Structure 1
Amino acid sequence: MVQMRDAAGTPVMITPGVGGTALARVVLGTGEYNEAWLQMLVQSHPELLPLGRIEPAFADAVPIACEVPCAHGFIDNLFLTPRGDIVLIEVKLWKNPQARREMVAQLLDYVAALMTMDYQAFEQALAKARPTRITSTLWDLFKDHPDAGSEADFIDAVSANLARGRLLALAVGDGVRAEARALASLLQSHAGAHFSLALVELGLWEDKEAGRWLCLPSTLLQTVLVERGIVRVEQGVAKVLPVPTSAPGATPQTLTGTMFLEQLAAVDPTLPQALAAFVARLAPLGVVAEQKASLSLKADVGGPKLVNLSSISKSGQLWTDYLSNSVPVALATRYNQQLAHLIGGKVAATPTPRLLAQTGGAPLVSALLPKHQDAWVDIIAELLAAARTAQDDAA
């Protein structure tokens, strides 16, 4: 059996015309570089955490407070998005083999504690934290953000996420050992709280000559969300129980994907099922669904870029304007014309060919699904065949 191991070299700081300086690894947990120091580093430089790559829906989360009091202790760092999505962060220095299980237990305790809070209790806990950005109300931090809705919507979203334990949990530390990668199985057996976990390692390196440091973040592991789970509330305390291995319907998803489908369902309750059936029909054609803030349907035709057939936003709108970036304009135009014929829409030619509803603007994907599913599959098959031929001719 071949066993793969991680390996990394030493970073070198290069100054043009001068040369390079090898950096020295700083061992966190020694001197001033303890968990409190790491906690403040994350609070002061949230860009170190690759939130958008872990869960795209949480990319714009901002730090709110440190040492947030709850029934099970103090949460190291807590972030929120303008839409009321919660990021819980546990800073951990991995010094011993027990660190993994201790961190899992701590995270589960924190999630359970948050699930017992209503919005008012949550806001009060954030206000009591030190440091905290709250000077008046939690909503004041987001009311001017372009992606923020109304205050009522924000409060409802935070309340719902607390009640369901739906959040992104990050374990952030240095020197995450090999045994920490077993976290996926541990967390997935306790996935009833609907949260997603990622491990982020922050490697710290020192340039002793210049007196500066380099911090290198890397995501070591990300679990997927299991929708089905068991949360039992006993005497006001939420307990996250293991999911039976035989539980039906335990389909792995990302938290971003789950939130996307919920938002689609709010537009049209039939859309998630119709979209899932459509994606399944496209699989034999080599089309994959890429989930970020939107859902993009992409395929490889042998060119330098994947073909972006269509993107579907969380509001259910269908966008086809990226297609001409990866196939000839004539093919993109024909594709859009065929779709327009199905829905009685039209095609805008500039700046790139794109499908429009008859009234203008991007149409809803419900105009095509499920009624025109078969025809849309055929149109995509025709486009991909033509794109591959064009690619072969150009080679």
Structure 2
Amino acid sequence: MLDLPIADPATGRATARIMSVGTAVTDQSYSQQELLDIFDITDPKVRSVFLNSAIERRFLTVPPRDADGAVRPEAQGELLAKHKRLALDMGARAVRACLERAGLDLADIDYLCCTTTTGFLTPGLSAHLIREMGILPSTSRVDVVGMGCNAGLNALNATSGWAVANPGKVAVMLCVEACSAAYVIDGTMRTAVVNSLFGDGAAAIALTADLADAAYRDLGGIPSERGGPRILGFASHLITDAIGAMRYDWDDEQGKFSFYLDPHVPYVVGAHAERVVDHLLADAGLRRSGIAHWLVHSGGKKVIDAVRVNLRLTRHDVRHTTGVLRDYGNLSSGSFLFSYERLLQEGTVRRGDHGVLMTMGPGSTIETALVQW
């Protein structure tokens, strides 16, 4: 029997397959109204941003309170420590959940890719997780840091490539975002938009390119019986004219990093969505009408609406995206995997179905991937 990577029957090219997914969040969730009360926000314009966000609850770790019961500002060093603590906790739980669903153990991990934007560690999060979880020290690893909400698909591209190059081995990709550790509380509309949107969460998926698919039957291989989708390809688009529209930069006045979202981001992203999706599908000889499942990043109500309208999708097409936004807020790089998990739980996927994964983030960037069950 030949130990060959799973192949795309249409092209004969080797592909990786998603085996399982696992997610985790922090301990406490809050409604938007509860957060307005906790932070004593009375400005009508800011309150409107929170209450009209299409978000009902988010998982967050709010700052400690001072002697008077008011929320105490956190210094950058405290935020970095919070990021490390939350990322290790959520990340470990997401990885364990992912492995359990695939029937795997920690010792089965051969490659670990960790993606985060909400904090910085040296050595990277992957090294800390290997030590804390007891993953084999010989595990290959990489950290994708600072790419933003689109980074999950950038990392998936690299992880699937490693899986294809190492057939029979298990690659795990983890997106972990402690957005509680990236907040600035200053009363401005700039930070109000950010603070109304993001939540804490982690998501992990396991990939393999273990045995040949049907294209290799005549060579002695056997088709894979795993239920997860094969990753057929990726397409990216960097909107260079909008490189500063989403950015994480230093705020001298606050003495910490602060995230900025240009109010025109939804329209910029929406206007370029068709180009990258059509490029992705053209390479596979498909049209949008042939896509059964759309898993779009839960970037925010206006972003989702702009993408939906420009791609001519229905509200049903993006039901998992809007559901994740409603229940978790924007989880940055891992949002699309929360939607993927919901799709699997729904039980509507059929063998042969195609799906598009889509993330958007700083750059401004649109990343896409095509999968088939």
Range into which the TM-score falls when normalised by the shorter chain: under 0.3
User: TM-score, normalising length from structure 2?
Assistant: 0.25
TM-score scaled by length of structure 1: 0.24
